Structures are given as C-alpha cells and as structure tokens.
C-alpha cells in the first residue's frame, strides 16, 4: 500500500485496483468516461451499447467498493445524458446512492444541429436538436457502513461528510435577532431554530448544499434574483402554541419580534461558487509539447471557447476546475485526512486538489499521453507548498544554473545536498 500512496500509475484501472488491499481507501472521487465518444475519443465509447457499458463500469466500481473502507464516501461524475447508466453501475457495484451534487456552470457550449439549414421549409428555421449543457452530476454514494455512523467512525475512521469543512463562508449573521441576546448557546440548523430561550451559536458558514455553481453561473443567478433580504418572523407576542408538539397544554410565549436571518445579497450566496483560473489548466506544463486543441466546429468564440487548432500543453478534453475538486476533497475529508482513490485520473486534477487540501491519493490513468501532464501538474502544485528553507535551496540552485536548471533539477538537487547543506551554502552566499 505504501508503494502506491501518492503515486501516478499508468495502466488499466481494473488490473491495478486488484493490487490494492481490501478496506484500505477512505474516499473515491473519480470522473469516469460518459460513454458518448466525446471528441471522438476511443476511451469514451459506449463499449457496444448501454448494457455493455454499465457492465464494464460496474466491474470497475465493484473493485472500488472492495478497496474502500466500510462507510466510505464515493463521488462519481456523470453527465445528465448518461447519468442513469452511471447510477445503475454504482448501485450494481454495491453502493448506496445518497444524493446528487449538481455542478452548474455558464461556460458550456451548444452542439445542436440546425434543422432549418437542412430543409428549405421556413417553418423549421430556429429549430435545433440539443440544449446548451450547463450542468454535470456528482453522484454521492456510500459503501455500506458497519452499524451506526458513530460505530463506523470509531472502527474505520470514516463516516458521513465533513459538513463544517464544506460550509460556505459568509460574514452574515445567520442567527440574529432576539435570540442573540439570550444565554444558553445552541446552534440553529438549516430547517429551524430550536424552541425556547437561548443564544444560538453562530455557525461557521452556511450549510453545504447539493448545488455548486461556477463564478459565471453565480453572477447570472444574482442578476436574475436581485438582492434579497433575510425575513422576519411574524410578531407572535401573546400567541398560544403547543410546546414542541408534545405537551398537551397550550402555553403563552412572549416571542416578541424575531429576526430569523439578518443577511442580504444575491441568491448565489447560499451555494459554494467554484472560481476557476484560465492559467490553472496548463500550470506546470510549460515545458511539455503543445498539442492541437479540440474541434468546436462552428461554435463561436463568444461562447467562451477557442477554435479547432488551438495548441495546449494540457490537451485533455475534460479538465475539471481545480477549486471544484478541492471543495469535493474537503467535503469528503476524514479527521486524519484519508486516502483518495481516482481510477480515471485524466489530467490529474484530483491529485492536485488532494495535495492542496492535505490528502493522500492514488491516481490510475490508462492513457499514456496524459501521464506526463499529471506528473507536471503535481510537481508544480507541490513546489508551491514548499517551506521557506526549501525555497532558499531552490533559489541557490537557480543562481548556479539559471531558470531551466531550477525547473528541471531543483528538487533532485535539493534531495541530494539536503536541507542543512542547502542552508549552509545559502548562508555563505
């Protein structure tokens, strides 16, 4: 197991999954093929049809289920068009589906055939065959736990989700009003504020939702919703109500006017917004060969895409936003961090997200052309997290050999002379 941790493995995922010990992995986060031959890629074909594709993915996910600890969480990507295939395979592999996280974005591009151009009938002008894609699914599933969540947590170190870690940060007062003036702190939930007097502890942020937006989608939502304000609970002074729906005696409670939520803003504030950077895709890949981009045909650049022959160092067609993957890694993080498995590593965004969130990983990727991309991105991400002492050693190497030496041999040089040797030479300079 130690030989596989934090490694990038090139090969068939089924072959390598069988080498991983049973009940040794904490989390599965993966982006499997969708079965639609996207961009003509053979690795995304449908294996001969619906049943064959489901059987294939089921075989992979059964091995994933075996290596996961009881109660471990799985997040499996899918597109709406074939998400029912993916969900069927997940269930067939023995997982319990708990929810679907919708990732909504504004950068999708339509691939719709213009029917009007294929006929001389004017009434068909403006008709097409598809909608613009603006949503992807992350199917949230769980390996069957042993006993209760509490028992499973104590025995296996995994249980549920990292709710506090996944809260949406805000400066808004989520528990304001009269309650903030009382004593006996208790925390409110997304559904209600507990009955009775008490000062309610301010949550660390908004409760994580099963919707994630990208920055563009968040802006569009806010434009449509406008600014909304928290609402006040009606004046219930001298109102009789049945206490906790259990007490048979109606009691007079002086609530006064209670401000339930003291906040305002656009509707996107209720959801996590995964901001993406144009530079993150190729970060670390600067010295790799640039290869032709994808063919978007007649799609206009105004849709946020470029043309047919745009060269890219990271030419994987389905790179996921890094902030999105970091959030998913955080939401599923165990108290000790936990190992993340991704048997369909692609260009390695899951691994980079793990490094950035303090988690170990095992990445498996079949396509050899993406391995150098994964390693380059991981190396760049790791260097960004260097200690000051390591940075000095890198600077020393750079001063002797220039930028190219720093990029190519910095870490090797660092490991050879050691931190102390590097510091000593740095001091002499």
Say how far apart CA 36 and CA 81 lie, in whole Å: 9
* CA nearest to 381, candidates 293, 291, 272, 279: 279
> What gap in Å lies between CA 79 and CA 35, rounded to an integer?
10
106 pLDDT exceeds 80? Answer: yes
Taken in order of first residue, the domains within the chain and their CATH numbers are: 7-166+273-384 (3.40.50.150), 170-203+229-265 (no CATH), 387-429 (no CATH)
pTM beyond cutoff 0.85: no
Using the predicted structure, report yes or no on whether residue 293 has a pLDDT greater than 60. Answer: no
Higher-confidence residue of 288 and 10: namely 10
Instruction: Grade residue 372 by pLDDT with cuts at 50, 70 and 90.
Output: confident
H helix and E strand count, the chain: 9, 19
The span from the first CA to the last CA of the chain, in angstroms, equals: 43
C-alpha span between 93 and 56 (Å, rounded): 11
Poorest-pLDDT segment among 69-78, 224-233, 329-338, 343-352: 224-233
Residue 379 above 80 pLDDT? yes
Per-residue pLDDT tens digits for 175-221: 644 444 444 445 544 444 444 444 556 678 899 999 999 888 888 89
Residue 363: how many other CB atoms lie within 10 Å? 27
pLDDT value for 9: 94
For residue range 235-272, what is the model confidence (pLDDT) as tens digits? 444 444 444 444 444 444 444 444 445 567 888 988 99
> Which region among 15-19, 44-48, 103-107, 122-126 has the lowest average model confidence (pLDDT)?
44-48
Averaged confidence pLDDT in the chain: 77
Cα 256 from Cα 4, distance rounded (Å)? 61
Question: How would residue 399 be classed by pLDDT, with cut points 50, 70 and 90?
Answer: very low
Q: Tell me, what's the pLDDT at 39? A: 64
Whether 147 has a pLDDT exceeding 50, the answer reads: yes
**Per-residue confidence (pLDDT) for residue 13, from 0 to 100:** 94
Mind listing the pLDDT tens digit for each residue in 118-133? 998 889 999 999 999 9
At 385 the pLDDT is: 65
Mean per-residue pLDDT, 401-415: 44
Between CA 270 and CA 277, with CA 275 as vertex, the angle to 5 degrees is 175
For 392, the 3-state DSSP assignment is helix
Distances 372 to 214, 284, 365 between C-alpha atoms, Å: 28, 10, 11
Higher-confidence residue of 69 and 407: namely 69
Supply the pLDDT for residue 326: 95
pLDDT band at 231 (very low <50, low <70, confident <90, very high): low
The percentage of the chain sitting over the pLDDT mark of 90, rounded to a whole number, equals 43
Give pLDDT, residue 349.
92
């Amino acid at each position: 197991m130690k030989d596989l941790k934090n490694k990038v493995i090139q090969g068939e995922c089924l072959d390598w999954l069988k080498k991983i010990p049973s009940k040794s992995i904490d989390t599965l986060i993966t982006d499997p093929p969708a079965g639609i031959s996207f961009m003509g890629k053979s690795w995304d074909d449908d294996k001969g049809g619906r049943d064959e594709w489901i059987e294939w993915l089921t075989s992979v996910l059964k091995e994933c289920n075996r290596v996961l600890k009881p109660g471990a969480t799985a997040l499996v990507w899918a597109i709406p068009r074939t998400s029912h295939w993916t969900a069927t395979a997940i269930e067939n592999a023995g997982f319990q589906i708990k929810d679907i996280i919708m990732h909504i974005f504004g950068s999708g591009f339509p691939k719709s055939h213009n029917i009007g151009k294929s006929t001389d009938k004017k009434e068909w002008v403006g008709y097409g065959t598809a909608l613009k894609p603006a949503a992807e699914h992350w199917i949230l599933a769980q390996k069957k736990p042993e006993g209760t969540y509490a028992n499973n947590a104590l025995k296996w170190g995994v249980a549920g989700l990292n709710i506090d870690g996944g809260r949406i940060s805000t400066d808004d007062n989520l528990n304001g009003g009269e309650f903030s003036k009382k004593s006996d702190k208790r925390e409110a939930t997304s559904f209600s504020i507990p009955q009775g007097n008490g000062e309610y502890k301010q949550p660390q942020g908004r409760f994580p939702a099963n919707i994630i937006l990208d920055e563009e989608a968040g802006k569009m939502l806010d434009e449509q919703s406008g600014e909304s304000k928290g609402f006040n609970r009606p004046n219930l002074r001298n109102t009789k109500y049945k206490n906790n729906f259990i007490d048979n005696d109606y009691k007079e409670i002086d609530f006064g006017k209670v401000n339930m939520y003291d906040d305002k803003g656009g509707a996107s504030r209720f959801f996590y917004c995964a901001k993406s950077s144009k530079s993150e895709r190729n970060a670390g890949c600067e010295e790799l060969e640039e290869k032709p981009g994808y063919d978007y045909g007649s799609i206009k650049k105004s849709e946020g895409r470029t043309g047919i022959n745009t060269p890219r160092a990271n030419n994987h067609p389905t790179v996921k936003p890094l902030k999105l993957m970091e959030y998913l890694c955080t939401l599923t993080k165990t108290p000790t961090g936990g190992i993340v498995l991704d048997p369909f590593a692609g260009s390695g965004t899951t691994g980079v997200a793990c490094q950035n969130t303090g988690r170990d990983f095992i990445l498996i990727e079949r396509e050899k052309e993406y391995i150098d991309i994964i390693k380059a991105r991981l190396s760049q991400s790791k260097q960004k997290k260097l200690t000051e002492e390591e940075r000095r050693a890198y600077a020393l190497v750079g001063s002797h050999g220039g930028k190219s030496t720093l990029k190519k041999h910095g870490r090797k040089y660092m490991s050879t002379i050691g931190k102390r040797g590097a510091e000593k030479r740095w001091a002499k300079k």
